[in-house]
């Protein structure tokens, strides 16, 4: 019960910060561009109280603690409608729409820089951390356990150099020595232990068969190395860019798979909604504590940056696309009611998809399936 409460509070806090920062970007740039704003709300309606009013803007506190919103002038009860924002020229409107996603990008950079400056930069040690050992596999039979650190396999280093998709030495060694007992040196509770493991065929509970391998889930063991503040800034920016590049690559593979243009799986890793993300937040905190929580928030902030720039109706990217079309047409506006209809249909579609994903998340929660894997 305590862990569930921590998960809920952490998720609400995280989502609140991510959405608040996003909407703050819209708000600040809208005011800078001279676009009228009627309300800046903390949380989502219904309204709890009006905190104060300044320069024609109401600053409100609302009952649903999930971030915030900006209501532009003349929009009545809609967040994006036919008010002052849509009436603005494209060169004023586009920066307002870009500001929200960019704030999420900058938030990710700030989080990583602060973490690197205070805690250090996560640096591979050259070993592999075993997060999970699947039952009935060669690794389980040999006695390998979750939280073991794999030092060497058959006397060879298990360090994976270069990109994530570079050659995996563990897989290569296992395939080369299929059916042969080889030594695996692991570190457990500060002591080094040598176990004999025989790579070979094994099968998962759902019937998926593997000809070789060990049956473990693992990743590079990392240790935090102290750096100076300027170094933390440089590494924070480059690290954020590296994660962003991987996200864009995954998105490209996803779209290519859906369109049949690539052989990449259409939904590698699956999709999670609010329930799944909340459960993943709890798993992150349980596995890595507060530091892992902040890293997780930075990654999600980057995901919001990417997703909001996609030209999907009801998202910022769609508003930017309509503004660009208007710009190309020499300022001739698309009829507001038609644009609003497109956004309304897109919003309904997103909500329908979110409902389906949430149902799947709830089913996984009932079944006790891990969101991040390794459970």
Q: What is the CATH number of the domain that holds 194?
A: 2.30.42.10
- In terms of domains, do 72 and 96 share one? yes
112 shares its domain with 149: no
CA nearest neighbour of 19 among 64, 76, 73, 74: 64
Question: pLDDT at position 374, please?
Answer: 43
Look-up of token digits 């300022």:
331
Residues 158 and 98 in one domain: no
167 assigned to some structural domain: yes
* C-alpha distance from residue 86 to each of 73, 90, 278 (Å): 10, 9, 34
Asked which of 225, 242, 266 is the last residue of a domain, the reply is 225
How many domains does the chain contain in total?
2
Give pLDDT, residue 82.
43
For the chain, which ranges sit under pLDDT 70? 1, 74-83, 161-166, 206, 212, 254-272, 368, 370-375
User: Residues 204-232: pLDDT tens digits?
Assistant: 776 777 776 788 888 888 899 999 999 99
> What distances in angstroms separate CA 361 from CA 8, 182, 352, one per listed residue?
15, 40, 14
Do 95 and 132 lie in one domain? The reply is no
Residues 108 and 30 in one domain: yes
pLDDT score, position 182: 94
Q: Residue 206's domain spans which residues?
A: 122-225
Q: What is the pTM of this model?
A: 0.77
Q: Are residues 105 and 126 in the same domain?
A: no
The pLDDT of residue 132: 87
Is 361 part of any domain?
yes
Peptide bond into 56 cis (omega under 30): no
Q: How far apart are the first and last CA of the chain?
A: 19
Residue 113 and residue 131 in one domain: no
Q: Are residues 113 and 6 in the same domain?
A: yes
Q: Which tens digits make up the pLDDT trace of 269-310?
A: 456 677 778 888 888 888 778 888 999 999 999 999 999 998
Residue 32 counted as domain residue: yes
Quote the pLDDT of residue 186: 95
Q: Provide the β-strand partners of residue 182.
A: 197
Let me know: does 320 contact 98? Beta carbons within 8 Å: yes
Instruction: Look at residue 266 in the predicted model and tell me its pLDDT.
Output: 42
Give the residue from 190, 208, 225 where a domain finishes: 225
Residues 83, 135 within the same domain: no
Residue 54, φ and ψ in degrees, nearest 5: -145, 135
Residue 244 domain-assigned (yes or no): no
Distance separating alpha carbons of residues 166 and 170, to the nearest angstrom: 12
Tell whether 258 is covered by a domain: no
**For position 268, what pLDDT does the model report?**
41
Q: Which two tokens stand for residue 293?
A: 């929580």
In a domain, 372, yes or no: no
**In a shared domain, residues 59 and 136:** no
Residue 97, C-beta contacts closer than 8 angstroms, at least 6 positions apart: 26, 316, 317, 319, 320, 323
pLDDT digits (tens, 9 = 90+) for 243-268: 999 888 878 876 666 566 555 444 44
Of the three residues 225, 246, 266, the one that is the final residue of a domain is 225
> Does 348 map to a domain?
yes
Does 235 map to a domain?
no
The verdict on 107 and 180 lying in the same domain is no
Residues with Cβ within 8 Å of residue 352, at least 6 apart in sequence: none
The answer to whether residues 340 and 360 belong to one domain is yes
């Amino acid at each position: 019960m305590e862990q569930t409460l921590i998960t809920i509070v952490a998720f609400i806090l995280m989502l609140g910060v991510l959405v608040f920062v996003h909407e703050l970007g819209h708000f600040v740039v809208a005011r800078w561009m001279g676009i009228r704003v009627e309300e800046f709300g903390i949380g989502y309606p219904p309204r709890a109280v009006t905190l104060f009013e300044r320069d024609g803007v109401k600053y409100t506190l609302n009952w649903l603690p999930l971030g915030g919103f900006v209501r532009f002038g003349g929009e009545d009860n809609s967040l994006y409608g036919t008010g002052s924002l849509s009436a603005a020229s494209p060169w004023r409107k586009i920066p307002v729409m870009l500001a929200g996603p960019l704030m999420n990008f900058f938030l990710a950079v700030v989080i990583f820089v602060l973490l690197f400056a205070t805690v250090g930069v996560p640096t591979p040690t050259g070993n592999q951390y075993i997060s999970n050992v699947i039952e009935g596999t060669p690794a389980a039979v040999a006695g390998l356990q979750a939280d073991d650190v794999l030092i060497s396999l058959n006397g060879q280093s298990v360090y994976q150099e270069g990109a994530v998709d570079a050659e995996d030495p563990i897989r290569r060694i296992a395939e080369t020595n299929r059916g042969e007992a080889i030594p695996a040196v692991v570190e457990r509770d500060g002591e080094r232990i040598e176990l004999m493991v025989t790579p070979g065929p094994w099968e998962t509970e759902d019937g998926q068969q593997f000809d070789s391998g060990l049956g473990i889930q693992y990743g590079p063991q990392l240790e935090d190395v102290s750096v100076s503040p300027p170094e933390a800034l440089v590494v924070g920016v480059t690290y954020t860019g590296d994660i962003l590049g991987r996200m864009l690559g995954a998105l490209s593979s996803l779209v290519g798979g859906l369109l049949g243009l690539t052989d990449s799986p259409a939904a590698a890793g699956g999709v999670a909604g609010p329930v799944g993300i909340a459960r993943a937040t709890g798993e992150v905190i349980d596995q890595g504590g507060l530091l892992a929580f902040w890293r997780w928030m930075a990654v999600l902030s980057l995901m919001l940056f990417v997703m909001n720039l996609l030209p999907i109706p009801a998202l910022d990217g769609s508003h930017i696309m309509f503004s660009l079309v208007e710009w190309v047409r020499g300022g001739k506006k698309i009829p507001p009611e038609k644009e609003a209809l497109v956004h309304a249909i897109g919003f309904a579609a997103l909500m329908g998809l979110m409902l389906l994903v949430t149902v799947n998340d709830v089913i996984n929660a009932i079944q006790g399936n891990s969101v991040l894997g390794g459970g």
